[in-house]
Amino acid sequence: MSHGIQDHDMCFRALSGAIINPNRTEAAMTDPDTPKIIVDDDWKSSAKAEKEKLAAAEKEKSQQGAAQGGFPEKMGFKELISLFATQALMYLGAIPDQSGRAMVSLEIAKLNIDLLAVVQEKTKGNLSDEEQEMLDGTLNELRMQFVEVAKAVEQAAADGTLQHMQDPGVAGSINPGGGFGADLKL
């Protein structure tokens, strides 16, 4: 048993005499006959790099899922704004329906724009600068597009080139007179 204690004491003395240079990854020993002790200071940076690599791969995977028609794993404020904006654009005729035709329903477009305005009002002072700019910019663009489309619909009605939806079976269509006002195909 005393032999193990002596080995422990020699090891302790060798280690207590080591001088660690923070700029190097090895410890210099005071006794030149004692082998150098290598201290692995780089493990933290290796672990951090690996963690960042995994996070980037996970983010790319999430974005690919969203691009392939799936939903992103994490839904946030930007996705909420995008949801209302997409619906408004669809009913402003900017996004064609499944038949490839532009569908215009000013009342439903206005409803989605108004819902974004409610989000703007209720989140005032609680958004990051980036989120606030996104919301303000989106609302401004949608409002300008609404005015342009409303003028175009008015002009098409005056010219007689407006076509009311007659097929309530078309995916995404709203039955005219169903409480949301006239639904139009341009």
| Domain ranges within the chain, ordered by starting residue | 2-41, 77-185
For residues 178 and 163, give the distance between their C-alpha atoms in angstroms, rounded to a whole number.
17
Mean pLDDT of the chain: 73
Cβ(155)–Cβ(108) below 8 Å: no
For residues 173 and 165, give the distance between their C-alpha atoms in angstroms, rounded to a whole number.
8
For residues 149 and 104, give the distance between their C-alpha atoms in angstroms, rounded to a whole number.
8
Structure tokens at 93: 């005729």
For residues 58 and 54, give the distance between their C-alpha atoms in angstroms, rounded to a whole number.
6
Is the pLDDT score of 31 beyond 90?
no
Residue holding tokens 């280690």? Answer: 15
User: Lowest mean pLDDT: which of 53-67, 82-96, 149-163?
Assistant: 53-67
| Partners of residue 19 on adjacent β-strands | 28
Q: Regarding predicted confidence, which is higher, 124 or 100?
A: 124
Amino acid (1-letter code) at residue 58: E
Structure tokens at 27: 């410890």
Q: Regarding predicted confidence, which is higher, 97 or 71?
A: 97
Does pTM top 0.85 for this prediction? Answer: no
In this structure, the number of other CB atoms found within 10 A of the CB of residue 77 comes to 16
User: Residue range 22-35: average pLDDT?
Assistant: 52
Q: Where are the alpha helices (DSSP H) in 37-170?
A: 43-67, 77-91, 106-122, 129-159
Tens digits of residue pLDDT in 77-108: 999 999 999 999 999 999 988 888 888 899 99
Is the pLDDT score of 175 beyond 60?
no
